[in-house]
């Protein structure tokens, strides 16, 4: 089963994206409990990780929230919003606060199903109101992902809560017992982002737009999603991705161009001991090929999915310089 091209960001990546969208609209105070949950405790620090979602997926679908959106009047049609440059949609067909979500929260609180998980996160520890809001957004995100056949992506904490409440969500949402669809979620951990060099924070809303408008990033992203799909079959996603990176590097066609690009990003070479250096890879440090050469070779570029992080930096910098 391949990775969908549509992503529904979950905690904490959803909040970082909403926080970024607040730059041209309204950025709310996190002292308000609603936005404390929506944004998360430190959205500006999460943004580099949310930047991976910005690049990896063709379409971003945000669960609706009480938050303004860029050029809302221009891009809103009925109960839906779609920004073509960002390839970002928000649907208001489902509501955030529902009786079903309340019932799920009450069940969780009564059974203490996720108390230990919330206790490990200072923002939610001992605060039933914020916990209820988190669970309400989780139900909203699950509904959206199922309806759109999208991938729901959160961090390790989100995945832990999802796994705990997953067996009960369908019962509370549509009164049909049973498991949620397989492969609905993906944990995008800090380590996965680090070893693949995907950590990139759009420095501004304009940089966010530039990343979303880049056709080359879209091409890289398609191959990157294919790699994630293959790596998910291994017991460890990170190791699976690193193995696929090595396979790409072992290709003579790719090795001729890889050295300069890897020296520029530092992403793979900084992961000491995780990639066996042998064969053509051993000579990679002596290869001095211009990074720009890879852009001219469309066939080779398909295999450069592991350079997606450096390409995001390049696109954002180029866009900034052009506007000066």
80-83 vs 88-91, strand pairing mode:
antiparallel
Q: Considering the entire predicted model, what is its pTM?
A: 0.77
Contact 65, 37 (CB under 8 A): no
Would you state the pLDDT for residue 220?
Answer: 76
Tell the residue number behind the tokens 């949620």, with chain if given. Answer: 180
**Order of strands across the sheet that contains 185-187:** 76-77, 80-83, 88-91, 59-63, 6-9, 151-154, 185-187
pLDDT tens string, the chain, 324 residues long: the values are 578 889 999 999 999 999 999 999 999 999 999 999 999 999 998 987 887 777 788 999 999 999 999 999 999 999 999 999 999 999 888 889 999 999 999 999 999 999 999 999 999 999 999 999 999 999 999 989 988 999 999 999 999 999 999 888 877 766 555 667 767 888 877 667 765 666 666 778 888 888 888 887 887 788 778 888 888 777 777 777 777 766 665 654 444 444 444 444 444 433 333 343 333 443 333 333 343 344 444 445 555 555 666 667 677 667 665 766
Element (H, E) at 209: helix 205-213
Structure tokens at 73: 């009047």
Would you state the pLDDT for residue 164?
Answer: 94
Q: DSSP 3-state assignment of 283?
A: helix
Would you state the pLDDT for residue 223?
Answer: 78
CA distance 198 to 312: 9
Would you state the pLDDT for residue 275?
Answer: 40
- According to DSSP, the residues that pair with 153 across neighbouring strands are 9, 186
Contact 50, 13 (CB under 8 A): yes
């Amino acid at each position: 089963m391949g990775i969908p091209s549509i992503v529904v960001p979950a905690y904490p990546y959803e909040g970082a994206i909403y926080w970024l969208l607040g730059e041209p609209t309204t950025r709310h105070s996190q002292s308000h409990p609603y936005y404390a949950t929506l944004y998360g405790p430190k959205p500006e620090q999460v943004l580099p990780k949310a930047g991976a979602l910005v690049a990896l997926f063709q379409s971003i679908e945000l669960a609706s929230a009480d938050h303004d959106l860029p050029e809302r009047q221009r891009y809103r049609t009925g109960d839906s919003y779609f920004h073509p440059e960002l390839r970002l949609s928000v649907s208001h067909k489902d509501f955030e606060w529902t009786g079903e979500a309340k019932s799920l929260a009450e069940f969780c609180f009564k059974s203490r199903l996720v108390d230990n998980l919330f206790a490990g996160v200072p923002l939610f520890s001992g605060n039933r109101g914020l916990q209820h809001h988190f669970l309400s957004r989780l139900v909203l995100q699950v509904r959206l992902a199922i309806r759109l056949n999208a991938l729901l992506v959160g961090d390790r904490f989100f995945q832990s809560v999802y796994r705990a409440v997953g067996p009960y969500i369908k019962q509370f949402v549509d009164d049909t017992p049973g498991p949620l669809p397989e492969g609905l979620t993906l944990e995008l951990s800090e380590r996965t982002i680090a070893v693949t060099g995907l950590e990139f924070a759009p420095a501004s809303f304009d940089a966010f737009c530039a990343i979303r408008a880049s056709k080359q990033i879209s091409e890289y992203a398609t191959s990157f999603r294919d790699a994630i799909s293959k790596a998910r079959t291994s017991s460890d996603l990170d190791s699976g991705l690193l193995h696929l990176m090595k396979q790409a590097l072992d290709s003579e066609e790719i090795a001729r161009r890889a050295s300069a690009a890897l020296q520029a990003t530092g992403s793979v070479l900084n992961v000491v001991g995780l990639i066996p250096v042998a064969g053509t890879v051993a000579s990679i440090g002596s290869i001095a090929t211009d990074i720009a050469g890879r852009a001219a070779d469309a066939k080779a570029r398909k295999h450069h999915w592991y350079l997606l992080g450096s390409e995001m930096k390049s696109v954002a910098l180029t866009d900034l310089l052009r506007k000066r």
